[in-house]
Structure 1
Amino acid sequence: MRHHRRITVWGSFLPRSSATNHSSSKYFNNRRKVCVFLLADWSSSNMLRLLLTLCALFTIKGSALQLPQQLSISRCPITYYTKKYESVYVDSINNRFRICFRGPADSTDCIKGPVIDANSQFTFNTDKRLTTLKLFQFGTETVLELDYSDYQPPGTPSTEHPRYANTLVNGKEVQSLTAVLQAREYYVDITGCRPSDFGMARNTKTSVLETCTNYTCSLTAVGSSTTCGDREYCDGKGSCRKMEICTANGPTVIDFKEKINSVSDRCEYTLLHDQSAGFTLKANFLERRRRDVSFVDSLTLDFSDSDDIQLLQGQRVMKAGSPVTLTSSVQTFSGVDLSKDQTGVTASFSLQGSSFSVFYDGTTVQISIDVLAYKSHTGLCADSGSSSSSRLSSDASCLTQYADKVDDEVNCTAMTQQCNILKSAPFSSCNSKVDPQPYITACTETMCKYPDEDGLRCQFLEAYAKACAKKQVILQNWETAAQCSNSAVMCQNTICSDHEFCGDIFGTAGCRCRAIFAAPYLNSSTYGSPTVCEHNSASLTLVNCLLDQKGINSSNLTLLDKTCKGQVNEKTHMLTFNFTSESCGTIVHTNNSKVIFTNAVTLKDEITRKDHAYIEFSCFYKKPEVNHVAFRIQDSPVVQSVTSGTWNHTVTMVAFADASRTQMVDTNYQVQLNQKIWVELKSSGLDENLISTVTDSCWATNQQSYDSSQKYFLIQDGCANLADQTVQVERNGDGVLNYFSFNMFKFTDESRDLYLHCKLQLCLKQEGNCIPECSSQGKRRRRSMQNPEDSAYLSMGWSA
């Protein structure tokens, strides 16, 4: 006997197609408390009437009911796949009767009933054609019932056909119920389970491949689930894999879960960080041949309790900033085992029970762990998509994005085919152990943009082969199948500077310029910085890696004088040439107001088959200018610094009382009339091979001004006054030291003061002879002293 009361909704249902039968009465055996909270009937009268029985306590009768309608069942809540509801919403959708629990606009948790047929081809009397949908609540258990009855006039075919009902959880169908024969009750237990917010029937199992999770709903409606362990990850295809290998090649990082992402800048990143163990593995990304493609340029093993270890290009290793010499034999430094072979450098160590191995060959990084408690690790290897949180660089300039033009020589179709070889033999023998798709994607994304140079394509294939080896799958002769020469690193022991990377240069390993560093030089078609000019010396610095990339051997370069070679800086690899105006074949000439030093870098060989083997450069100086400097004998000797354009020197003017110029005339010295005085003019700080000091003229006045109306010349036009036989110019214009002598005199106007003035010039020796030509017959001035505005006046005075 069934102890229940019911709500009845009358109307006409027209079922569509047959379904699996679910007919049973076992749900009602030995049940004492039953709540039939909804019973939906649809009859041919098209009249909807509602009756509700809660917990078998009482019945509510209603008149005609229009859809949609909300009904309260708070006196007898229903448990629908573990969720308890106190209201139901009755409506129709796509001509099917529907009962929903979350709201009229929310169709996620619903029961879809049979099709409502308001235009039946038959005419029936009330209650002659009836479809009934019932829900039973037994404590926490819920049962759905479906039955129907049809009126069949005598002599007409049977109208029996199946009716359907379906349960939905979060919009997905969970169970279905089909009434096949009339006058029979069909039941289905919809108590079920709701793992991860989807529905399951009792005593069923289901799997979600994307998360590798297996769900079980027991016979007693208890849900449970299993998934990958802490040391495993889901491959998205239903299989759990051990989290063992992380690979970084080019800009791409394939993390422990075989998810892939790319680094688009040139910053330092955390590949792996274990806070509890105090360990961080850092990778510095830098560009190479293109500005918009980055590579792992160095690794840093950062231990909180010991010195850092760096793995660099050329299989170089640094510990606490000092180089470490490695061989194939394992050497241990602070608990880290280091070794190298022809393929690269390996660092192995243990942290809190986990064994780590870090391999680096200058391009590819592979980190493997035998035991990984994944939840305790962060960084790109734990989650390749965590680039923003894993970035370490504080300088924002590393984030600058570049867009180089497309390389027309890159054949993306061909590169894709070559990367897809990972699905073919012999690589295919490992495909079940290591998913080749992330490696194919990494290879394709990079090789469709970056030129196939420096063995890069084979580096991607070798990275897959190494990952297979970690899974005990050895790929025999893969190099031959992939047309890769061998696994040896091309750049063993090659040391490049910060603006260089090791790559192929005409078939051999060498240091090439990084794209960002080289761009300004390539744009201006130069090989170095502008010439640095200073006085009579100059230097030219060329970028060695630019020369190498053009096939120019820097050791074969000289200046015009073939004995003058450049010097290579061991750290920067810059090539510098130094020369003076008098060395290395420098050519000096003038052009109006400029002095030009010209030299050139060229090959020492007589012939060359390389372009750009001749690099000419020049230094431009302004001609020496005359400065106005005044001295008084009372301050003798006087030393003063003089600046004349780009020429800086010091002038000293001293008077002496002896021919050897050892007895200086100072303020305490009494000069007698007709006593011979020697005056010395000396310039310091000038290159005597390039510049001479010329005494153009000297004269005496009785006034302090050198332009006084009364003048007496001792030297004129660089030569002694022939009218005064006491004047002797003993050295003038052949260096930076001039001196002359004369006998002391005074003016006849009884003036007590005597002032001696000299006009000087600096002379460029390459322009001509700086020594004035003097004779007893006449005098000839040098061309460089023809401008009277370029005169300097130096004065010395005596008081009688």
Structure 2
Amino acid sequence: MLGFVLYLAACGLLTGSEAMYQTFTSPGEVNISSCPITYFGQRYEKVFVSLKANTFAFCFTDAFSPGSSNNCILMSGGPADRGELEVFSRVIPFGSGVHKLLPDLESVGECVNVIALKDNKEAEIQQVELGNFGSQAILGIKTFTGYPNSAVDAVSQVNGQTVSSETFQTAETINGVITDISGCRLSGVVYKTNTTDVPNTCSTVVCGPSGVARVVSKCGPMQRCQGGRCVQSSTCTVAASAVIDFSGRVHTVPDRCGYTLLSPGSIPGLKVHGLFKERRRADVSFLDRVVLKLDKGSVEVVLEQGRVKLNGKVLELNATAQEFSGVELSKDQMGATAKVSSSSHAVTVFFDGDKALIQITGPKGTVQGLCGDNSGDFSGEKASEYSSSGCEVQHTDPADTNVDCGAATKWCNLLKQAPFSACNVHIDPEPFITACNKTLCEYPAVDGLKCKSLETYAMLCGRTGNVTLEDWRKKTGCSAQPSCQDKVCSDHEFCGELHIGGRPRCLCRAIFASKYRSENSYGEPTVCEHKSATVKLASCLLAEHGIDSSVLHLNDQTCRGEKDEETHMVKFHFDNRNTCGTVVQANDSRVIYKNTIMTQNVSTHGSIYRHDHMHVDFSCYYNQPDVKSMAVKLKHSAVDQHITSGAWSYNLTMKGYIDPQLSTPIESSTGIDLDERIWVELKTEGLDENLVHVVTQSCWATEQPSPDGTLRYNLIVNGCPNPADDTVRVENNGKTTHNQFSFNSFQFSGSTGDVYLHCKVQLCVKEGNNCEPTCHRSGRWRRSIMSGSNDENPALISMAWTS
């Protein structure tokens, strides 16, 4: 070893001048900000000097204290109790003798801190020099005649732990010696500038001159480390739309179709498919479920969010693996696992609703699918039987202003920092950083998505690298999220958070919800049929507005929605048997049945409530029938008239009989004599008798098919018998959905042709007995309020007879 500063001066290399001069006593704090030192990857601008008879300590974080987690250089000492600092700048050009002595130095020396240590008589005992070589540093030691020991011990400590220890004889130090104090720090471990083998990890740590350490694995892309040696084993990771294959390549699924992830030649007949769907955005897909298909026995295992199906049947599983049709299945709070084995290989699939880890073990063999030996050709890997029609259609959603790609990149790069860096030797973080950036630069950081990106890597470290990343959640602020494992959503839903930090619930997928959001609707239109009204609302649409479907009811609070366990659509219903408080109204054109879906008036939580109020009206109606005529000769068979209008339909018929029991209808062969008694029934089918009645408003006869014939004879006027004809009788008019009248047959004077009968019929909303005409001797029909019934739009039905 040659001298340091003295050697440089003698060789004419000490070209700078003192930039700073400072004196101190023990213990003393020395300012080296004009020539800072990078000590094992960390930069320092102060040195705390402690001078004792047996030990000189030069510390960088605090004053020396035995046993503390300090960063110090400790040397055997002498009688020095004071000192002075001189700084020399720009003194060591590249290629000088120092670089020849310390070939690992790869930077130009910028400056040197020269610390002279003296006793109380100002006699120099020892000289310590700290040289700045950029991200590296050197230590120089020189002793003088007052130094009492035969050797100098120099110990470098980081966080209180010894990194290196060297001993120099005074025969060397009297001329000056130098040594390298450069190094790196990685996951709490300190490395010297060099390449260091890490025991039992199949890897080395390379500490470069920049002070940054990197881990280099000795295993190939299809291998993992086991017991310090590389063995064949691979894991394919699928998260959001990213597929990280066995070789570490990243593929992005472009749509919402099903794809073959794995088809191993080592287990014939096995295929693993991934089905992708959208969530909040239509243009970003996420892995929705995983399917294992085995040709042998036609077995299909579906791993879904919160449940596992075998050939369409939901299984009850726990953490203990059970075998079903050659597949080992288990499920816990983390997710579901399926395993298929052969004599030499095993495929294990884990799925938790967000990510899938697909591991294959055994001798190397051919592997097809997006996880294996493919070229990234998605068209060739599409699983048509698991791809819905139109799944390949590309959508473009408006940019989300909440997406911060710069912040996302910074976040994803945490995978290269402690504590994740402890796993970098086992699993290359770059593909996971790429996948993380891809997702978070296109999709808002909701539903715990940021932390799930880190969780995927952490879980893979534990499963395939056997590395536990301690406190990674605490260090990143990623608290454990409420689990979706017990939340089963429908096909048009996904499990997410309505608000950040909220409990998980089933939310609407973007494409499903778009048609309803554009119409500001909660669900499907009202279905009116068979005297009933039905409305189906999507519970996920209600959830978006903070509405719990379980608190909704109709006008009658006992009438609540029925939730379909599979689709999660909530059905509200009323009919003529259970009106659920339906309000019936009428106007000039319609009879309307209206009900309301609403929230409870009384909170179930006392003086507060946590859901929005809701008030949604829905209705069905009968149109008041149009005026229509149909002439039928009475001597022929009776004719039905079918009137369909509005959302509900009903039949209106008029039939003639020759007996009061209405058992013998008038047929085409029936002869009708003059003054013979005829009974006529007006009857409807399809009306709700509890709420609507039928009123025969008027009936008359003409000699022509038209109701406006020249000759006219009235039988019923204003709902009452014609007072001028005492043969006319009217029964049940306005009392129900049918009525009848009778009269004696006749013929028009001067005519021998057919006689045509016409009637006008009116629907009436029943309110008490308001639909029944009150007939006085004058024949007038007196009514109270008829709820919209009027004389302008009655139904006209006609028939004819030949005397």
Question: Which of 333, 336, 344 is residue 335 of structure 2 equivalent to?
Answer: 344
Q: Distance in 2 between matches of 1:251 and 1:641?
A: 57
Contact 2:492–2:509 (8 Å) recurs in 1: yes
Q: 1:568 to 1:451 in 2, by over 3 A?
A: same
Kindly state the Cα deviation for residue 775 of structure 1 after the two structures are TM-superposed: 0.9
Equivalents in 2 of 1:796, 1:398: separation in Å? 62
CA distance in 2, matches of 1:727, 1:746: 15
Residue in 2 that maps onto 1:274:
264
Does residue 1:737 correspond to 2:738, yes or no?
Answer: yes
Are positions 1:416 and 2:412 aligned together? Answer: no
Kindly state the Cα deviation for residue 331 of structure 1 after the two structures are TM-superposed.
0.6
The question of whether the paired residues in 2 share the 8 Å contact of 1:231 and 1:374 is answered with: no
Residue 145 of structure 2 corresponds to none
1:232–1:569 distance in 2 versus 1, CA, 3 Å: closer
Matched-pair contact (CA < 8 Å) for 1:718–1:781: no
More displaced 10-residue stretch of structure 1: 679-688 or 789-798: 789-798
Query: What's 1:765 paired with?
Result: 765
* 2:241 alignment counterpart: 251
Given that residues 599 and 616 in structure 1 are in contact (C-alpha distance below 8 angstroms), is that contact kept between their aligned partners in structure 2? Answer: yes
Q: CA deviation at 1:747?
A: 5.1
| AA aligned opposite 2:595 | N
Partner of 1:557: 552
What whole-Å deviation, never above 9, does each CA across 1:488-545 have from its counterpart, x for those lacking one?
8711132211101122245222211111211222233221123334586432221111
Aligned to 2:94: none
What is the alpha-carbon distance in structure 1 between the residues aligned to residue 651 and residue 358 of structure 2? 67
2:493 maps to which of 497, 500, 508: 500
* 8 Å Cα contact 1:700/1:711 also seen in 2: yes
Q: Residue 466 of structure 1: SS of its match in structure 2? A: helix
SS in 1 for 2:357: strand
Choose the corresponding residue for 1:792, options 776, 793, 796.
796
Equivalents in 2 of 1:452, 1:788: separation in Å? 64
Contact 2:264 2:366 in 1 (8 A): no
1:437 to 413, 426, 430: 430
Q: Distance in 2 between matches of 1:752 and 1:523?
A: 67
Give the distance between the partners of 1:311 and 1:645, measured in 2 at CA.
46
Q: CA deviation at 1:651?
A: 3.6
CA distance in 2, matches of 1:573, 1:431: 44
1:417-566 equivalences under 5 Å are 417-469=410-462, 470-486=464-480, 490-506=483-499, 507-534=502-529, 537-566=532-561
CA apart distance, 1:293: 1.8
Distance 1:645 1:426, change over 3 A: closer
2:18 corresponds in structure 1 to none
CA distance in 2, matches of 1:676, 1:634: 14
Which runs of structure 2 are paired with 1:130-169 in the superposition (5 Å)?
Answer: none
SS in 2 for 1:776: coil
Deviates more, 1:666-675 or 1:453-462: 666-675
Superposed, 1:109-508 pairs within 5 Å as 232=222, 242=232, 244-275=234-265, 277-351=268-342, 353-383=344-374, 385-393=376-384, 397-469=390-462, 470-486=464-480, 490-506=483-499, 507-508=502-503
CA offset digits 1:603-629 (Å, max 9, x no partner): 122466644622234456543213212
Q: Structure 1 unaligned runs (5+)?
A: 1-227
Give 1:573's aligned residue: 568
2:589 maps to what in 1? 593
- Aligned partners of 1:689 and 1:765 also within 8 Å: no
Cα distance per residue 1:733-782 (max 9 Å; x no partner): 22222212223445564x55562513222323269944333211351487
Structure 1 counterpart SS, 2:273: strand
Q: How many aligned residue pairs are there? A: 568
Distance 1:727 1:592 in 2: 30
State the distance in 2 between where 1:747 and 1:467 align. 100
- Aligned equivalents of 1:609, 1:619: Cα separation in 2: 32
Measure, in 1, the Cα distance between the counterparts of 2:700 and 2:438: 86
Q: CA shift at 1:634, angstroms?
A: 2.1
- Given the superposition, is the C-alpha separation of residues 694 and 533 from structure 1 closer, same or farther in structure 2, using an over 3 Å criterion? same
SS at match of 1:432: coil
Partner of 2:695: 694
Structure 1 CA distance for aligned equivalents of residues 793 and 265 of structure 2: 78
User: Residues 622-666 of structure 1, C-alpha deviation per residue, up to 9 Å, x if partnerless?
Assistant: 432132122322224444434456664334433444444445555
* Counterpart AA for 1:279: L
**Does the CA contact (< 8 Å) of 2:546 and 2:611 recur in 1?**
yes
The structure-2 alpha-carbon separation of the partners of 1:615 and 1:785, relative to structure 1 and needing over 3 Å to count, comes to closer
Q: CA deviation at 1:549?
A: 2.4
Give the drift of 1:674.
4.4
Deviation at 1:314, TM superposition (A): 2.9
Q: Assess, with a 3 A threshold, how the Cα gap between structure 1 residues 330 and 781 changes in structure 2: closer, same or farther.
A: same
Could you tell me which residue of structure 2 aligns to residue 727 of structure 1? 728
Q: Give the 3-state SS of the residue equivalent to 1:461 in structure 2.
A: helix
Instruction: Give the drift of 1:274.
Output: 2.7
Distance 1:742 1:509, change over 3 A: same
Deviation at 1:282, TM superposition (A): 0.7
Q: Note if contact 2:698-2:718 (Cα within 8 Å) is conserved in structure 1.
A: yes
Preserved contact between residue 762 and residue 794 of structure 2 (Cα < 8 Å)? no
**Cα distance change on mapping 1:692 and 1:281 into 2, 3 Å:** same
RMSD over aligned Cα atoms: 3.5
2-structure distance, mates of 1:306, 1:677: 75
Using a 3 Å threshold, how does the CA distance of structure 1 residues 307 and 322 change in structure 2: closer, same or farther? farther
Aligned-pair CA distance for 1:716: 2.2
Letter in 2 for 1:271: L
Q: Secondary structure at the match of 2:631?
A: coil
Counterpart of 1:649 in structure 2 is 650
SS at match of 1:741: strand
Aligned equivalents of 2:360, 2:710: Cα separation in 1:
100
Deviation at 1:590, TM superposition (A): 4.6
Structure 1 letter corresponding to 2:796:
A
Aligned residue for 1:635, secondary structure, equals coil
Note if contact 1:313-1:494 (Cα within 8 Å) is conserved in structure 2: no
C-alpha contact 2:631 2:705 (8 A) present in aligned 1:
no
What's the % identity of the aligned pairs? 41
Partner of 2:682: 681
Q: Secondary structure at the match of 1:495?
A: coil
In structure 2, the CA distance between the partners of 1:726 and 1:370, relative to structure 1 (3 Å rule), is closer
Q: Partner of 1:398: helix, strand, or coil?
A: coil
Residues 625, 645 of structure 1: 8 Å contact kept: no
CA distance 1:313–1:684, shift in 2 (3 Å): same
Please say which structure displays the higher CA radius of gyration: 1
| DSSP 3-state at the match of 2:317 | coil
Secondary structure in structure 2 of the residue aligned to 1:757: strand
Cα offset, 1:266, TM superposition: 1.0
- SS of the residue 2:570 aligns to: strand
TM-score w.r.t. the length of structure 2 is: 0.64
User: Could you tell me which amino acid in structure 2 is paired with residue 711 of structure 1?
Assistant: R
Contact 1:433–1:468 under 8 Å retained in 2: yes
Once structures 1 and 2 are overlaid, which stretch shifts more, 392-401 or 453-462? 392-401
**Which residue number in structure 1 is paired with residue 199 of structure 2?**
none
Q: Distance between the aligned counterparts of 1:644 and 1:389, measured in 2?
A: 53
Q: What code does the residue aligned with 2:243 have?
A: V
